[in-house]
């Protein structure tokens, strides 16, 4: 299949869906829900076709908006380009998959809420923003889509405006997020002032030709802003408020996708594809590693002491972001070696796996809250009796996130452990400590779930079909991916790392071998 021909539909379909939602809404509730499912389903179809096409051809898709070539009559890019390598395509697939499941889940979960036309509009725009980030090859365009994603997520976090925590978390998230976005915009402005181009690949060339202090300051601003967006410690506090306060379908998207696309993916893209040749990757790698270690320990340790189920999951997300950052940091610090490649493969693999696992766990938490109306773990004892399917799904998700061998989390965490132990045994030890905390947190939840049923739990039952099916699909995906861990790593993740590390190919595809 021709990836270049279908690439625009990745933006056109959700854009059309979001802008037509207010009109479709006039036809009534059923058509609005059907429209949201159709749009996100069609996006999933395009996204998976695109992923398959990029994976099959092992190339980089470049698409110029408005012309055949990005260059015009000059020897530098003058138009906006999309540039999708295997890493970007993998992120596209991840976003479309989890978004589709979240929309499907919302049909049942959001039934009792008002303002649902706005809700479906915003959830499709959230997906659109993430897709735009994943496919773009232009720095300012990246910022625009980062803002689309961020603004949609601020509104969705505070969507339940009759709860005090929704509004509080929304305000906190908005203030912190706006400052982080401002950092990134300032970085882009500095780079444009110094180098006069906004295309990522041409900027990489310019940076390598004439490194400057301005570029280093801009890099510092990018790293600061993107660490905010990914919820790394010590700037993770917004995440621990925003993820529990949002509706669960949104938490699944925020935790599974937003922090990775807006944080990890963008960080990897900027560090590898733009700055790869012009900075000391070792220094930057160690900066990332230090933040990763703090994040790893704090996130997982804070998860152990939570009494609120969704807050526990949110802190666990912080902890898992720590693993991904550790892989990314080692991938940079050991750039070009076998160890670095394995670490980066582990990071990308864990990004994908964590999106599935954390989406599953948040959807399960949503189902529990929907049935019982409480998130307090102490009141949830014994739901294994009355909600067996939900509890089983949680068991699978928890086992996967800890990294039990038959499930998908094992392979990705193993790659990170292995490479960190080879790179520096202390980092390996820190990673193991993080997992110990993570195990404690999840075992504690499972212990509660399998305890003696309490009074309020007795009348609970498994959720309805639209809420159960996304959960089942995610469980199946986690188990199936767990059966072929090394094949997936060999066939998808390692080539994705190779594509990311091959900066020359990234640059020369746009400039036409120049």
Partner 1 sequence: MKRTIAYLSLLFILGALLYIANPNYGLKFGPGGSEWLALRYTDNYYITHGLKEVGGMNIVTDIVFDYRGYDTIGEATVLFTAIAGAIALLRPWRRDEA
Please give the Cα distance from 332 to 339 (Å, whole number).
Answer: 10
Q: How far is CA 259 from the centre of its chain?
A: 5
The answer to whether 194 contacts partner 1 (rule: CB under 8 A) is yes
Considering the complex, state which of residue 155 and residue 289 has its C-beta at the smaller distance from partner 1.
Answer: 155
Stretch touching partner 1 by CB under 8 A, among 13-21, 40-48, 258-266, 375-383 = 13-21
Strand partners, 63: 82
> Nearest approach, Cβ of 7 to partner 1 (angstroms)?
12
Please give the Cα distance from 265 to 268 (Å, whole number).
Answer: 5
The answer to whether 122 contacts partner 1 (rule: CB under 8 A) is yes
Considering the complex, state which of residue 213 and residue 455 has its C-beta at the smaller distance from partner 1.
Answer: 213
Stretch touching partner 1 by CB under 8 A, among 15-23, 85-93, 235-243, 451-459 = 15-23
Considering the complex, state which of residue 253 and residue 344 has its C-beta at the smaller distance from partner 1.
Answer: 253
Residues 6+ apart with CB under 8 A from 132: 11, 141, 144, 145, 148, 149
Q: State the residue for tokens 């526990």.
A: 312
List the x/- string, 415-454, binding to partner 1 by CB under 8 A: ----------------------------------------
The answer to whether 31 contacts partner 1 (rule: CB under 8 A) is no
> Nearest approach, Cβ of 139 to partner 1 (angstroms)?
11
Please give the Cα distance from 369 to 248 (Å, whole number).
Answer: 9
Residues 362 to 421: which contact partner 1 by CB under 8 A? none
Query: Reduced to 3 DSSP states, what percent helix, strand and coil does the chain have, rounded to the nearest 5?
Result: 80, 5, 20
Classified as helix, coil or strand, 83 is strand
DSSP string, 318-338: HHHHHHHHHHHHHHHHTTTSH
Classified as helix, coil or strand, 464 is coil
Q: State the residue for tokens 């964590």.
A: 354
For the chain, the maximum distance between any two Cα atoms, rounded to a whole number of angstroms, is: 75
Among 158, 279, 356, 427, binds partner 1 (CB under 8 A): 158
The answer to whether 197 contacts partner 1 (rule: CB under 8 A) is yes
Tokens of 320: 């898992």
Among 16, 52, 76, 286, binds partner 1 (CB under 8 A): 76
Please give the Cα distance from 438 to 426 (Å, whole number).
Answer: 19
Contact between 386 and 458 (Cβ < 8 Å): yes
> Nearest approach, Cβ of 54 to partner 1 (angstroms)?
20
Pairing of strands 81-84, 61-64: antiparallel
The contacts found for 162-170 with CB under 8 angstroms, 24 or more apart, are: 163/245, 165/241, 165/244, 165/245, 166/245, 166/246, 168/241, 168/245, 169/238, 169/241, 169/242, 169/244, 169/245, 169/246, 170/242, 170/245
Stretch touching partner 1 by CB under 8 A, among 136-144, 331-339, 345-353, 449-457 = 136-144
The answer to whether 69 contacts partner 1 (rule: CB under 8 A) is no
Stretch touching partner 1 by CB under 8 A, among 119-127, 336-344, 366-374, 470-478 = 119-127
Stretch touching partner 1 by CB under 8 A, among 186-194, 262-270, 361-369, 374-382 = 186-194
> Nearest approach, Cβ of 118 to partner 1 (angstroms)?
4
Stretch touching partner 1 by CB under 8 A, among 116-124, 351-359, 429-437, 455-463 = 116-124
Tokens of 457: 């739990």
Among 132, 322, 403, 428, binds partner 1 (CB under 8 A): 132
End-to-end CA gap in the chain: 27
The answer to whether 152 contacts partner 1 (rule: CB under 8 A) is yes
Q: Which residues bind to partner 1, rule: CB under 8 A?
A: 15, 18-19, 65-66, 72-74, 76, 78-80, 112-115, 118-119, 121-122, 125, 128-129, 132, 140-141, 144-145, 147-148, 151-152, 154-156, 158-159, 161-162, 167, 170, 190, 193-198, 212-214, 217, 220
């Amino acid at each position: 299949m021709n990836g270049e021909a279908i690439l625009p539909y990745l933006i056109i379909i959700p854009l059309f869906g979001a802008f037509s939602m207010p009109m479709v809404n006039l036809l009534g509730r059923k058509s609005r829900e059907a429209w949201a499912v159709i749009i996100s389903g069609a996006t999933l179809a395009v996204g998976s076709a695109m992923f398959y096409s990029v994976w099959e051809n092992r190339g980089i898709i470049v698409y110029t908006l408005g012309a055949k070539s990005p260059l015009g009559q000059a020897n530098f890019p003058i138009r906006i380009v999309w540039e999708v390598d295997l890493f970007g395509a993998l992120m596209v697939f991840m976003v479309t998959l989890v978004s589709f499941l979240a929309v499907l889940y919302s049909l049942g979960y959001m039934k009792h809420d008002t303002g649902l036309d706005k809700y479906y509009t915003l959830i499709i725009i959230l997906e659109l923003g993430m897709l735009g980030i994943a496919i773009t090859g232009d720095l300012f365009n990246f910022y625009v889509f980062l803002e689309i994603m961020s603004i949609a997520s601020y509104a969705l976090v505070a969507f339940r405006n009759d709860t005090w925590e929704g509004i509080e978390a929304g305000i906190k998230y908005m203030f912190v997020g706006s400052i982080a976005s401002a950092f990134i915009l300032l970085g882009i402005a500095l780079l444009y002032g110094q180098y006069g181009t906004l295309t990522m690949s041409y900027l990489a060339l310019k940076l390598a030709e004439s490194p400057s202090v301005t570029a280093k300051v801009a890099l510092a601003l990018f790293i600061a802003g993107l660490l905010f967006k990914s919820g790394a410690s010590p700037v993770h506090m917004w995440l621990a408020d925003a993820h529990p306060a949002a509706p669960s379908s949104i938490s699944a998207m925020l935790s599974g996708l937003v922090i990775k696309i807006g944080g990890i993916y963008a960080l990897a893209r900027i560090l590898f594809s733009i700055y790869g040749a012009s900075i000391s990757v070792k220094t930057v790698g160690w900066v990332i590693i230090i933040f990763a270690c703090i994040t790893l320990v704090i996130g997982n340790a804070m998860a152990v002491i939570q009494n609120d189920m969704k807050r526990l999951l949110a802190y666990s997300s912080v902890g898992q972001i720590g693993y991904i950052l550790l892989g990314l940091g080692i991938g940079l610090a050991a750039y070009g070696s076998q160890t670095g490649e394995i670490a980066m493969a582990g990071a990308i693999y864990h990004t994908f796996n964590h999106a599935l696992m954390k989406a599953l766990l948040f959807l399960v938490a949503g189902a529990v809250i929907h049935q019982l109306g409480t998130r307090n773990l102490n009141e949830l004892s014994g739901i294994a009796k009355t909600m067996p399917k939900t509890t089983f799904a949680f068991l699978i998700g928890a086992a996967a996130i800890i990294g039990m061998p038959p499930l998908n989390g094992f392979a990705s965490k193993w790659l990170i452990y292995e490479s960190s132990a080879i790179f520096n045994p202390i980092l390996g030890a820190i990673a193991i400590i993080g997992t110990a905390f993570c195990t404690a947190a999840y075992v504690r939840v499972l212990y509660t779930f399998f305890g003696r049923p309490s009074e309020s739990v007795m009348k609970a039952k498994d959720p309805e079909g639209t809420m159960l099916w996304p959960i089942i699909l995610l469980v199946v995906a986690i188990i199936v991916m767990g059966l072929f861990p090394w094949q997936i790593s060999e066939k998808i993740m390692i080539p994705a790392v190779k594509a990311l590390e091959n900066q020359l190919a990234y640059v020369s595809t746009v400039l036409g071998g120049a």
